[in-house]
Amino acid sequence: MVRIGAFLVGLFFAGWLLVSFLMGAAAYISEPPAPTVEHEFHLAPKHVDFSFDGPFGKYDKAQLQRGFQVFKEVCSACHSLKFVAFRDLEALGYNEAEVKAIAKQWAIKTPDVDPKTGEMTGRDPVPADHFPKPFANNVAAAAANNNAIPPDLSLMTKARHHGSAYVYSLLTGYREQPAELLKKFPDAKTPEGLHYNPYFANLNLAMAPPLTAEGQVTYGEGQPKPTVDQMAKDVAAFLTWTAEPKLENRRTAGLATIIFLLIATGLAYMSYQNIWADKKKKA
Amino acid sequence: MGFPWAEQYAPKHPLMQWIDEKLPLPRFVYNAIGAGYPVPRNLNFFWNFGVLAGFALVIQIVTGVIMAMHYGANDLVAFSTVEQTMRDVNAGWLMRYAHANGASFFFIVVYIHIFRGLYFGSYKAPREMVWLLGLVIFLLMMATAFMGYVLPWGQMSYWGAKVITGLFGAIPVVGEPIQTWLLGGFAPGNAALNRFFSLHFLLPFVIAAVVILHIWALHIPGSSNPTGVEVKGPQDTVPFHPYYTAKDGFGLGVFLICFSVLLFFAPNFLGHPDNYIEANPLSTPAHIVPEWYFWPFYAILRAFTVDFFFIPAKLLGVLAMFASILLLFFLPWLDTSPVRSGRYRPTFRKFWWILLADVAILGYCGGAPAEEPFVMISQVAAAYYFAHFLIILPLISRFEKPLPLPGSITEAVLAKYGATDGEAAAVPAE
């Protein structure tokens, strides 16, 4: 009885799936799906080398500081970094006094309540504060940015596939829309107010090219020349750190754990062999 | 429990004797996973995975309980409390990554455990109850994992919850009220998040309870073994301790090495980047996909694209997805061959490999976007999945001619390793 019922259920599901397959295949052959503009013109992130690549890579603190500088002078005008606190910057090699100064001089104020009147006001951030948001709320952010809300950058490099390379590619990827694209997809012209960038998922993004000229940010003595490429790379490294600040701790702990486990497993193997010796003699 | 020749618990220390009289818990443990449980002597490394699954459950409970101390089950703060755990809690990143990857490893281990059972016929009499309880654990795991994935309240959390609870909406007439009742609203929100957290905390302990039943049911007939021939006498078994505790200790080491490689060096490899974007009900991700361990079932769900007369395709997909798991409950009565092990079933063995490849293909298609050719491939693969269990397997067990079985476990072992001290001379090969 069970087997007859099972046979009928199996016949139904398998049969109807094959019917669906045949109908789908017929449609696929008679009307192959039209290629989309994203399929043809979207590019995977460029290859780029970072000091933190590979299983034992570490952050380059000088690069993170440069990247922070780019964030401070360019990105932070529109983008928040809400999961990072000023005190976290000590990991970049700044000392306590420097962090205090960075917080105090930050252009955006931390919202607070006036202790006397109880009214909303702003004050200078302290190291314990997270980076204040550049806009009071999403409505203000959209209103100031042509209706697009600049996303928070704290986790950006983990929120995209190959995030570090993606940020670098996006920042250096702005270009004219290819003539070939317009010939093939005349409807796909970049709308007014958007900017063509093949590394962006739907090819057109609201953000205007943020890094446009060499020397836009002034790097300190002994640092590489602030070309657009270098600045993009540095800020991508900085945003990798903001997304994964514990990366170095994780790798160090991982190495120690695996060495311990290799030894422990070796011993466990020997004890296993020892205990089983009388049961499994090779002939 | 166990065979008549099982070693008896005989505590020497007066304190242990005193405890044994009042509450024989040490005796219970001794008989369950100590020297008092005789186990076939020929188990291969695939028999390690039951213990590994139990260990994975412990990892999940320990890391999960610690994470719950830092988590806020409220849609306004859930995402940021998880980030806070990652950044400001001592070793919080370790707990979170161990929990997320621990879930994946739990499923890897359990899938190997299930496919081992399928190959060696572990579901057959007298172990049907072990198999059925195992499937109950599997269903509870899926529910727990799904609700756990919602808790960080990222984009995939939110939209995954929306899609999966939406499945209930496909049920005619009562579907939408059920969906609203499950979510506590018309869309996932604070009510849903909060109840998912509550259930996500509860279910692992229910799993632990069913695990105990699973082991209890196993210990009545005793463990199965790669030959599928039942234990015939004391020469066929070894005590669980020290033989299998030693072997499991080594297996556990290998498991932990694999786990650590992923956990410490590629913790986000199995995750989806979109879940690092906070949930946004106004922005739908381009491709909504569940975690990898649900992909085969997700592919079956999406394979139904054509209405069957008055039954909409979506409802068919939902029914098929549930059926794809529920049919496993009937497996002991679908496969009627008296031979358990795939080693002695040449035809069955070939189809087992096809099934393995088929589930892998379904998994790949389930993770791919819902576009051609993936939909067509998953239609064929899903058709095979149902045909395998419901049509092919019953037919094989009726018509297949199995190979000759070894006379006993010891005979099979001696054929492989030769006689050891005090044992009879080798008998002809398997």
> Domain containing B56 — which CATH number?
1.20.810.10
Torsion sign across C-alpha atoms A63, A69, A72, A76: negative
The residue among B83, B309, B379 with the most chain A CBs within 10 A of its CB, best to mutate, is B379
Using pLDDT thresholds of 50, 70 and 90, give the confidence band for residue A283. very low
In a domain, B340, yes or no: yes
Q: Does residue B406 fall inside a structural domain?
A: no
Say how many domains are in chain B. Answer: 2
SS (H, E, C) chain B: CCCCCCCCCCCCCHHHHHHHHHCCHHHHHHHHHCCCCEEECCCCHHHHHHHHHHHHHHHHHHHHHHHHCCCCCCCCCHHHHHHHHHHHCCCHHHHHHHHHHHHHHHHHHHHHHHHHHHHCCCCCCCCHHHHHHHHHHHHHHHHHHHHHHHCCCEHHHHHHHHHHHHHHCCCCCCHHHHHHHHHCCCCCCHHHHHHHHHHHHHHHHHHHHHHHHHHHHHHCCCCCCCCCCCCCCHHHEEEHHHHHHHHHHHHHHHHHHHHHHHHHHCCCCCCCHHHHCECCCCCCCCCCCCCHHHHHHHHHHHHCCCCECCECHHHHHHHHHHHHHHHHHHHHHHCCCCCCCHHHCHHHHHHHHHHHHHHHHHHHHHHCCCCCCHHHHHHHHHHHHHHHHHHHHHHHHHHCCCCCCCCCHHHHHHHHHCCCCCCCCCCCCC
Least CB-CB distance to A254: which of B249, B265, B277?
B265
Predicted confidence at residue B413, as pLDDT, reads 87
Final residue of a structural domain among B229, B257, B288: B288
**Within an 8 Å CB–CB cutoff, is residue B21 touching chain A?**
no
| CB-based contact B41:B423 (threshold 8 Å) | no
**Predicted pLDDT of residue B371:** 85
**Phi then psi for A169, rounded to 5 degrees?**
-65, -40
Q: Which fold has domain A37-84+130-249?
A: Cytochrome Bc1 Complex; Chain D, domain 2 (1.10.760)
Q: Does B90 touch chain A (CB under 8 A)?
A: no
**pLDDT tens readout for residues A12-37:** 999 999 999 999 999 999 988 888 89
pLDDT of B3: 87
pLDDT band at B419 (very low <50, low <70, confident <90, very high): low
CB distance B55 to B255 below 8 Å = yes
User: Tens digit of pLDDT for each residue in A208-228?
Assistant: 999 999 999 999 999 999 999
Per-chain mean pLDDT for chain A: 94
The single-letter DSSP state of residue A50 is -
A3 vs B contacts (CB less than 8 Å) = 333-334, 336, 394
Classify each residue of A108-141 as buried b or exposed e, where b means 16 or more C-beta atoms within 10 Å of its C-beta. eebeeeeeeeeeeeeeebebebbbbbbbeeeeeb
Q: What is the ipTM of this complex?
A: 0.93
Over 50: is that where the pLDDT of B429 sits?
no
Q: Is the pLDDT of residue B2 over 90?
A: no
Please indicate, yes or no, if residue B420 is contained in any of the structural domains: no
State residue B414's pLDDT score: 85
Between A5 and B417, the more confident residue is: A5
pTM given for the model: 0.94
Q: Per residue in B283-332, pLDDT tens? A: 999 899 999 999 999 999 999 999 998 899 999 999 999 999 999 999 99
Asked whether the beta carbons of residue A254 and residue B260 sit closer than 8 angstroms, the reply is: yes
User: In this model, does residue B344 exceed pLDDT 80?
Assistant: yes
Q: What is the mean pLDDT of residues B92-109?
A: 97
Burial (CB < 10 A; 0-12, 13-18, 19+), residue A7, is: middle
What tokens appear for B141 in the block?
């795991």
Give the angle B105-B111-B117 at the CA atoms, nearest 5°: 140
Whether residues A21 and B253 touch (CB distance < 8 A) is answered with no
- In the block, which residue shows the tokens 């602030």? A226
How far does the CA of residue A58 sit from the closest CA of chain B (Å)? 13
Q: Chain B 232-251, CB below 8 Å of chain A: which residues? A: 238, 242-243, 246-247, 249-250
Range A247-253 average pLDDT: 97
B chain contacts of residue A13, beta-carbon cutoff 8 Å: 320, 323, 382-383, 386, 390
Considering only CA atoms, which of B99, B65, B96 is closest in space to residue B79? B96
Task: Note the pLDDT of residue B427.
Answer: 44
Percent of chain A residues topping a pLDDT of 90: 89
Burial class (CB in 10 A: 0-12, 13-18, 19+), B3: middle
Give a yes or no: residue B194 inside a domain: yes
Note the pLDDT tens digit of each residue in A172-214.
Answer: 999 999 999 999 998 889 998 899 999 999 999 999 999 999 9
CA–CA distance, B354 with B351 (Å, rounded to integer)? 5
Are B251 and B334 members of one domain? no
Mean pLDDT over residues A70-98, rounded? Answer: 96
Closest residue by Cα to residue A280 from B322, B175, B169, B247? B247
Residue in chain A nearest B376 by alpha carbon? A21
Contact yes or no for B421 and A278 at CB 8 A:
yes
Quick check: A181 and A188 in contact, CB under 8 A? yes
Over residues B184-235, the pLDDT tens digits come to: 999 999 999 999 999 999 999 999 999 999 999 999 999 999 999 999 999 9
pLDDT in tens, B107-117: 999 999 999 99
Per-residue pLDDT at A1: 81
Give per-residue pLDDT as tens, B118-164: 999 999 999 999 999 999 999 999 999 999 999 999 999 999 999 99
Q: What percent of chain B has pLDDT over 90?
A: 90
Chain B residue numbers with beta carbons less than 8 Å from the beta carbon of A28 are: 372-373, 376
Residue numbers in A near B283 (CB within 8 A): none
Q: In the structure encoding, which two tokens stand for residue B374, read together?
A: 């993936």
pLDDT at B421 over 60: no
What the block records as the tokens of B29 is 């443990």
Q: Which residues of B are catalytic?
A: 219, 223, 247-248, 291
Q: How many CB pairs under 8 A join A and B?
A: 179
**Closest chain A residue to B391, measured at CA:** A7
For residue B305, the chain A residues in CB contact (below 8 A) are 20, 23-24
Among A1, A8, A19, A21, which would you mutate to test the B interface (most chain B Cβ atoms within 10 Å of its Cβ)? A21
Q: Are B137 and B214 in contact (CB under 8 A)?
A: yes
Minimum Cα–Cα distance from A265: chain B residue: B253
Query: Is residue A108's pLDDT more than 80?
Result: yes
Q: Is residue A196 within a helix (H) or strand (E), and if so which, with residue range?
A: strand A195-196
B426 within a domain of the structure (yes/no): no
- Average pLDDT (A96-106) is 96
Average pLDDT over residues A235-259: 97
Helix (H, G, I), strand (E, B) or coil at A70: helix
**Measured between alpha carbons, how far is B145 from B291 in angstroms, rounded to an integer?**
9
In this predicted structure, the answer to whether residue A282 has a pLDDT above a threshold of 80 is no
Give pLDDT, residue A281.
56
Contacts of A271 in chain B (CB under 8 A): 246, 249-250
Annotated binding site of A for heme c: 75, 78-79, 207
pLDDT for residue B372? 84
B287 at interface of A, judged by CB pairs closer than 8 A: no
Are A155 and B417 inside 8 Å of each other by CB?
no
Which residues are within 8 A (CB) of B372 and not within 5 positions of it... i.e. 6 or more apart?
A24, A28, A33
Closest residue in chain A to residue B252, using alpha carbons only: A265
| B364 CB-near residues (< 8 Å, 6+ apart) | B295
The percentage of chain A sitting over the pLDDT mark of 70, rounded to a whole number, equals 99
Same domain, B263 and B318: no
How confident is the model at residue B416, as a pLDDT? 79
Q: Helix, strand, or coil here: A134?
A: coil
Let me know the angle formed at the C-alpha of A156 by B157 and B101, rounded to the nearest 5 degrees: 50
Q: What is the pLDDT of residue A89?
A: 97
- Residue to mutate among A1, A2, A17, A158, with most B CBs inside 10 A, is A17
Which chain A residues contact residue B263 at CB under 8 A? 254
Which domain range does residue B311 map to? 295-399
Q: Nearest 10 degrees: CA dihedral of B92, B94, B96, B97?
A: 150
Q: Are B50 and B113 in contact (CB under 8 A)?
A: yes
Report in angstroms the alpha-carbon separations of B271 from A55, A123, A159, A181, B101. Answer: 18, 39, 10, 34, 9
How many residues are listed for chain A in this entry?
283
> Which residue shows structure tokens 């000392």?
A95
What's the pLDDT at A146?
85
**pLDDT at residue B423, rounded to an integer:** 52
pLDDT value at position B90?
A: 95
DSSP letters along A220-280, please?
-TTSPP--HHHHHHHHHHHHHHHH-TTHHHHHHHHHHHHHHHHHHHHHHHHHHHHHHTTT-
Q: Percent of chain B, pLDDT > 70?
A: 97
Residue B257: which of A15, A82, A261 has the nearest Cβ? A261
